């Protein structure tokens, strides 16, 4: 059973490969997507998918694929899928998708998915490049890399390993993809996020993992709508 990571073709392919592996454990090569028909075609190449991850510009309960935004529960979305297909679980990596669990669930039902998941805040990704000069000490490497650990979507190499395998012989550069959440889409002035900006911006790993049943999706959505500021959550809806 294959896993599948789909992403907006305008996104950086190298970053998406890191995100697919680091956030979702998907080792297969990510597939760039141009529009909704392209998305449907890529999914329907398979009869069974273990984990489907969708990385697109998004909004509450919907995605912008190509230049067109659609809610996940729209009839026009369901009509794109004409072949029988089973997907075990679906993850959305995009802004605010998790605010609309009813819409996420509707998309999951198309494929008989067991669960769907998405973040409730805006999700901001940015590349981080850390240059390590030849001969740098293990302590200095830790000081340079450790602050980015909460943001990095993949495991950062251990300092003692880097000393032995790279910096003892030559300069070395570490390329990371950092991700953090923001309730209003505003970006941090720098990373790591300064103390004064941490109230409204948090590393993606600090999102509270919350799981609800399908029967509670509508009530959860109503509670989100009533809240002035929605909590930073990775919301999973179990469908079976």
192 and 211 fall within a common domain: no
Q: Report pLDDT for 19.
A: 97
Considering the entire predicted model, what is its pTM? 0.93
Co-location of 161 and 76 in the same domain: no
Residues 49 and 153 in one domain: no
Identify the pLDDT of residue 199.
87
Mean pLDDT of 196-210: 95
Q: Strand pairing partners for 109? A: none
> Can you give the residue range of the structural domain that contains 151?
124-197
Residue 63 shares a structural domain with residue 6: yes
pLDDT at 97: 97
How far lies 16's CA from each of 10, 32, 50, 172, 207, in Å? Answer: 11, 9, 19, 22, 20
The DSSP bridge pattern shows strands 86-93 and 115-119 to be: parallel
3-state helix, strand, coil in the chain (%, to 5): 30, 35, 35
Indicate if 219 and 100 belong to the same structural domain: yes
Per-residue pLDDT band at 176 (split at 50, 70, 90):
very high
For 215-236, the pLDDT digits (tens) are: 999 999 999 999 988 999 999 9
**202 within some domain:** no
94-118: average pLDDT: 98
* 62 and 170 both lie in a single domain: no
**Same domain for 129 and 48:** no
CB atoms inside a 10 Å sphere around CB 160: 11
């Amino acid at each position: 059973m294959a896993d599948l990571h789909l992403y907006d073709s305008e996104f950086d392919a190298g970053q998406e490969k890191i995100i697919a592996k680091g956030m979702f454990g998907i080792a297969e090569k990510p597939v760039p997507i141009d529009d909704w028909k392209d998305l449907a075609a890529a999914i329907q190449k398979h009869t069974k998918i273990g984990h489907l991850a969708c990385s697109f510009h998004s909004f509450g309960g919907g995605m912008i694929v190509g230049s067109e935004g659609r809610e996940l529960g729209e009839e026009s979305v369901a009509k794109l899928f004409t072949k029988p297909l089973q997907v075990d679980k679906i993850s959305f990596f995009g802004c605010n998708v998790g605010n609309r669990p009813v819409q996420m669930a509707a998309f999951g039902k198309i494929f008989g998915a067991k669960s769907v998941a998405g973040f409730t805040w805006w999700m901001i990704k940015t590349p981080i490049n850390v240059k390590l000069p030849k001969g740098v000490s293990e302590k200095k490497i830790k000081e340079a890399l450790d602050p980015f650990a909460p943001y990095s979507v993949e495991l950062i190499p251990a300092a003692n390993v880097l000393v032995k395998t790279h910096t003892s012989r030559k300069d070395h550069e570490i390329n990371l993809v950092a991700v953090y959440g923001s309730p209003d889409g505003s970006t941090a002035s720098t990373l790591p996020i300064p103390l004064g900006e941490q109230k409204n911006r948090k590393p993606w790993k600090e999102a509270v993992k919350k799981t609800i049943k399908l029967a509670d999706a509508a009530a959860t959505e109503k509670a989100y709508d009533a809240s002035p500021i929605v909590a930073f959550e990775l919301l999973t809806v179990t469908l079976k």
